[in-house]
Structures are given as structure tokens and as C-alpha cells.
Amino acid sequence: MKIVGKVAKRIEAHEKAYGEAKYTPDLYLDRMIYAGVVYSNVPHGILKSIDISEAENVSGIIKVATYKDVPGTNKFGVLIKDMWFLVPVGEKIRFEHDAIALIAGETKEAVEEAIKKVKFEIEELQPVLTIEESIKDEIKVHDPESNIAFHKKIRRGEIDKAFENADLVIEREFRTDYQEQAYLETQGAVAYYDGEIMKIYASMQCPFYVQEDVSEILDIPFNKVDVIQMETGGGFGGKEDVPSYIASKAALLSYLTKRPVKLIYSREHDIKETSKRHPSKSHYKVAFKKDGTLLGVKVESYLDMGAYSTLSPIVMYRTLTHAAGAYNVPNVHVDVYGVYTNKVPCGAFRGFGSPQVLFAIERVMDEAAEKLNIDPWEIRYKNALEVGAETSTGHKLEFSVGAKKTLENIKKLSNYEELKKEVEEFNKTNKIKKRGLGWSHIIYGVSLGAGGQHLDASNSEVHVFPDGTINIMFGGTEIGQGSKTAISMIVSEILGQKLEKIKVLQTDTFIVQDSGPTVASRTTIFSGNAAKDAAEKIKNNILEFLSDKFDVEKSDIEINLGYYKIKDKNFTFDEIAKMANDANVKLNESGWFKSPKLHFDMENGVGEAYVTYTYSTQLSLVEVDTLTGKIDVKKMWISHDIGKAINYDGVIGQIQGGAVQGMGHAIMEEIMQKEGKIITDNFNNYIIPTIKDIPEIVADVVEEEFPYGPFGAKGIGEPSLMTAPPSIANAVAHATGKKITKIPISMEDII
């Protein structure tokens, strides 16, 4: 191939490095005013009254809006509309950052002052703060239903027989805690309503979700809501559904004032209000044969949804389908419950409900290996998936299963047998510092999967100009992950234009069709295939024209990077484009890709859960200071089977970044709360890894091509995070000889 699979510079690198790229806060429109939000600051209660008169009188204030000002639906919710946009008087407050009023003013200072002047009374109620309290159902978060709002299950094979036939049964409870996405750019939006069209500019992963929500809140049709994604400084799932809440607030104020309104969240408000990874509690009971063969997995898992359901039922689907891990296991019995509490609503975060259970099953695999006296690599290899095997949901795998290859590669790359001896030697000679090695082996479903097929399609638009330059717009978004570059490389490969002459425009709902969200590691497959489709149509238009003009077979025209060779003569792509344009050839096309049909029995959780899967392996070397409890991750070896790397360096970057974020989840990051209020609300007390924490990383790519992916590609966005927490936890367990049953592992836990 000419460019796919090679290393390319990020196409937007220059503008980002020079500070020229336009993020939402960089946008200033004529007559623009600033917005702020009045929050409940109480985790549970009933709103008794609101008095905005004093706030309205603050100099510079243009509008104070409450629930009475909402023209359309005053509610949010992806599956269930259980969340107020602005809480009405007489209704319930369910977490500390429920919104009560919105304020727009000439300056940020005026808005801050007015926020303090909004008077409201809340009759406080006892909050529900833990999964255990929630399950008791003594205090209800949403009357009159139970706090256990959702249940999903897998019933496959005969789980009781598996336990009867087992030589070893491991039973254990695992806990995982919150993780904050910690995107560097906080949430923000600018809205401008001119009386006809509502334009929204925002930092987000899914402009189409924002379009739908703004349309419902304001009761205006989709064709009058134009949502344009600005450069986005990270998302990690945190900008999947959440930007609707921010954009709708700015939109209402603009609708009421007919002025452009800017709303940018402070880090504190962002951490307190927006979704995080779900805390979880999971009970595992797993059956093995003496030789390590996995016979059955039984799981009961509870996810803490917080105050509103938002994306939780969809997150739970991923918890369900990943609970039994990356292995060939015939008997699977899983129950996943989503429970309400009076805390921040949880939602999408890179991995989307799977890190909680992948951590658990991978701890079980290590414990089984230890009890059966089998090497932890061996037990994974023995049970690993391959072509012809079935996943834990019974999806028969026909192609692209590089699971064993990732295990083999890491064993070799790490020189595992030698490494084991070195670690043993180190531990013999060191009393306080102890080293450990930990494996993880995971599977990750790429695409929205069986439950989300109605959203699993994408549009891309490709436009070749007469001078040969190309513009692309795709329905996914660039959120820092590198999709603009990968998709430009796909178009470059097909049309033969050089990367530096290709530009990707910001996603705009008035131009591309609803392409679903940029999530689920689906953008390379979906937007990539759609761009490939559009580029191939244009290529075909050009080749037909050239074949006619030069009297050659289409197949005799050679497409190279930057030029075409026709009858021994070279023409630059720019020359070809000019010729074609002047001959009235169609040079803009629309591409489309939709999910292959998946067969899945929702009642029993059995069938084809996802379009395809990424398979991954990690080995970590850690050093634990048994005196201070400090864990030092010294080295990580990581391999992912991603089908095909489109931009090789981009893939390595994703592997490194994901692993470091996973390391943060495993040993550093902790959301602390007091009586339902988050106290770690900035980066001085919510500690994420920085460059000094990053260990040496050996990254490896396995390419078992996926026949329906662009050039065989699958996805790397999320699997990159998932291998690290179990691998590091297993290494800490190995180093200390202690059972590790929760993440994050704090220094206190070690002590």
C-alpha cells in the first residue's frame, strides 16, 4: 500500500501546536454574552421555591431562566427521561449539581454575582450514597420504583453442572471505583439563535445527540438546529451524552435573548456535574478443571448509576458481554444491575462498563493459576479464543482472532522466562522493595453492538476541488484520537492524493447525516468505511473519464501517491483533478457504511454481541515499597490485535495513552466524596498520571485482518485502556503475595 500502515504526521498537528486551532473557548461572536448555572448544592431534597428577583437586578444581567422558561421537553435521558433540564418547584433534587436556574450576562463577573443572588429553598432528604444502601430500597431516589432500575443477563450453557464438574471453584467479590475522564478541555458550548436557525458550536463526541436534545428542549425542528463540532480537547466518553446538557443551557439562554451565549465549565463544575466511570461491586464464582480449563463463570455485578440513568443501560450491556472475559467458556451466567444513588450520574468512559469486570475475571484467572500451580501466561493461553471458538455470549468467531498471537508476542518481547528469574532474584535480595509481574488478556467488542444497531451507520463526504485539494467531512469526530489523520490516509490511499493536500472539516449536522456517536472504538471502521466508499466512487468517476480520454483500460491506469501514470506519462493528481473538473466529471461524493446485521437474543444475552473484537495482552513489571505503600510501575509490554494499523504511529500513541490512563485508574485516581458531595474537584487533589509517572512501554501490533474493516482495520481507542488495570493489579498481587480485590489500589491498601 502507498500510505495505509505507514507513519503519518497528524494532519492537524501544526494548527494545534501553534495554538491556531479553534476550540470552543476561542470563539467570540458579536454581541456575545456569558452564561452560568445555579446548582442545588444538596444531594437529595425537594425544591420548595425559587426567587430570581434580586439576581435579575444585578447590573449587566440580561436573563435569568428557570423551568418556567423551557418551551419544549424539560427533561433528558437516553433511554428513560428521568433527569430534569431545570428542576421545577415541587420536584426532587437528586444530586448536588442539579440545575435550578440559568443566568446570562454581559460579563462573567456579573453572572457570578447573580448566581449568588438566586434564592431557593430545599427541603433536604437523607441521601442514598452507596450501592448497599441503594439495594435496601429504604430511601428511593426515583419514587415509586425500586432503586434497582435495570437488569441485564446472560444464560448460556449449564452453570450448575460446571460447578459440579469443577476441580477448583474460586469465589470472590471485587470492587472498582470512579474514574474521571480528565480531558484537558472542560465542557463548553456557544449557542446563537437568530430567530430562525439555532447554531451550536461545542466540544463533543456526538453532534447528532446535541441536535436531538436541543431540538426537544426548545421545541424546534432538526432542520433549524445546526450543530458544529469545534476542535475538542479530549473526550474519553465524557463528551458522549454530556455535551447536550451544556449546549441546551446555552441554547435556551440564546433562544430567550437572541444573542450569542457562551457557557464554559470550570474544572470544579465539570468534575462535580459530569459523568464518570461507574463504581461497581461484582461477585464472581468461577469453575476450573485441574489442568486450568475454564468450565463456567457466574457473575453478579452492580453498577452505581448515580442520580440519573443517562447511558447506564447501554454501559451495562458492555459489562454483561465482557464479564466472562476473553476466554472460551461454555457455561456463562451473568446478572448486571444498575442502581440509583444520590451522586453524580455515571456514564461513558473509555471501556464503557468493561474495565470493572475485566479487572475481576483477570484477578480470578491469576488466582486459579496460583492454586493449580500453572503459570499465569499458560492458563490464559490455554483458554484463549481462536477462529472457530465462541465468545462468552456464544458468538462464533469466523475471522480476525489474533488473541493467541498477542500472548505469544508479549511472552517473547518480554523475555518472560528470564524476567521471572530476575524478579525472583530481586525479591530474594531486597527486604522492603518487592517486584512483581502481572498478566492480563482481554477482549473488546468493537462497534455499538447488537443493542445499538439502529445507530451503527456512518456517512462521510469527500470533495475534490479543481486544484486537486480535497476536503472531507465525516460523521464521527476528531477528539484527539487521530481520526482525521487515519481517515485522510484512507482517502489518500484510494484517490492517490498526498496527505498534505487533504483537509478534514469539523463535523456539521447540516452537512452529514446522523452517523451515531464517536464511541465504542468504531470511528475507523464506520467513518473510515464511509470515506472509503465516497473516495472509491470519485475514483471510479475519474477513471472512467481518463479511460475514455486516453483510450486505455481503467485497470492500466496506475495510481501512485501524488500522481497517476497513464501510457508511460505521469500526471500529478492536481492535473488529473483539473482535467476531470473541466470535463464535467462529478468530484464530490457521499459515502455510507452500516453495521452488518447481528443476531442476538436479548432475553438470554446470547449471540453476536459486536461486529468484531479487538484482542489484547499486557505484562507489567511493578515495584512495591512495602514500607510506604508506593507502587512504581516500571515497565509495560502490550500487544493488541487491531486488524490493521492505518496510521502506525497513531496506533502506538493510542496504546501508550490508554495504558497510562488505565494505570491511573489502577493505582492513582480517586474521587473522594463527603455526604454526597465531591471534594476532589480539581487536579490538585484528583491525581492523574503525568509524564514523570510514565514507565517504559513496549507496544506491539498484531494484524489479523477484519474483512469488513477499511483495509482490515478494527479499533484501538478503548481496548488500549483495558489491559492495564488487571495487569498492574496482578503484578501488585504477585509482588506482595496479597489478594487484590479492588481498584484503585491506594498506598493505604498496600500498608
Stretch that binds ligand MOS, among 257-265, 266-274, 347-355, 565-573 (CB under 6 A): 347-355
Near ligand MOS by CB under 6 A: residue from 272, 333, 350, 380: 350
Cell of 654: 493510542
| C-beta closer to ligand MOS: residue 352 or 708 | 352
| C-beta closer to ligand MOS: residue 284 or 359 | 359
| Strand, helix or coil for residue 379 | helix
Near ligand MOS by CB under 6 A: residue from 183, 340, 352, 526: 352
| Strand, helix or coil for residue 13 | helix
Scored b (16 or more CB within 10 A) or e, 315-324 reads: bbbbbbbbbb
| Strand, helix or coil for residue 439 | strand
Interface map 495-534 toward ligand MOS (x if CB under 6 A):
------------------------xx--------------
Minimum distance between the CB of residue 318 and ligand MOS, rounded to whole angstroms?
Answer: 8
Minimum distance between the CB of residue 352 and ligand MOS, rounded to whole angstroms?
Answer: 4
Do β-strands 168-176 and 742-743 pair in parallel, antiparallel, or remain unpaired?
A: parallel
Near ligand MOS by CB under 6 A: residue from 5, 45, 233, 237: 237
* Separation between Cα atoms, residue 721 and residue 710, nearest integer Å: 23
Minimum distance between the CB of residue 394 and ligand MOS, rounded to whole angstroms?
Answer: 23
Minimum distance between the CB of residue 339 and ligand MOS, rounded to whole angstroms?
Answer: 20
Stretch that binds ligand MOS, among 219-227, 263-271, 342-350, 563-571 (CB under 6 A): 342-350
Minimum distance between the CB of residue 447 and ligand MOS, rounded to whole angstroms?
Answer: 10
Residue 214 DSSP code: H
* Separation between Cα atoms, residue 50 and residue 144, nearest integer Å: 25
| C-beta closer to ligand MOS: residue 111 or 651 | 651
Q: In which residue are the cell numbers 455499538 written? A: 448
Interface map 165-204 toward ligand MOS (x if CB under 6 A):
----------------------------------------
* Separation between Cα atoms, residue 134 and residue 337, nearest integer Å: 11
What φ, ψ does residue 108 adopt, rounded to 5°? -65, -35
- Contact indicator for 518, 483 with CB cutoff of 8 Å: yes
- Half-sphere exposure (Cβ direction) of 240: Cα atoms closer than 13 Å: 28
| C-beta closer to ligand MOS: residue 141 or 655 | 655
| C-beta closer to ligand MOS: residue 237 or 528 | 237
Q: Is 240 in the site for ligand MOS (CB under 6 A)?
A: yes
| C-beta closer to ligand MOS: residue 205 or 483 | 205
How many residues of this chain interact with ligand MOS, rule: CB under 6 A?
9
Q: In which residue are the cell numbers 443477563 written? A: 153
CB atoms within 10 A of CB 537: 17
| C-beta closer to ligand MOS: residue 237 or 436 | 237
| Strand, helix or coil for residue 73 | coil
* Separation between Cα atoms, residue 613 and residue 105, nearest integer Å: 49
Minimum distance between the CB of residue 554 and ligand MOS, rounded to whole angstroms?
Answer: 40
What separation in angstroms does the CA of 154 have from each of 239, 304, 341, 353, 606? 30, 20, 25, 16, 7
* Separation between Cα atoms, residue 570 and residue 568, nearest integer Å: 7
Near ligand MOS by CB under 6 A: residue from 227, 251, 295, 348: 348
Minimum distance between the CB of residue 348 and ligand MOS, rounded to whole angstroms?
Answer: 4
What separation in angstroms does the CA of 557 have from each of 245, 422, 569, 578, 586? 52, 58, 10, 17, 19
What is the binding site for ligand MOS (CB under 6 A)?
Answer: 205, 237, 240, 348-350, 352, 519-520
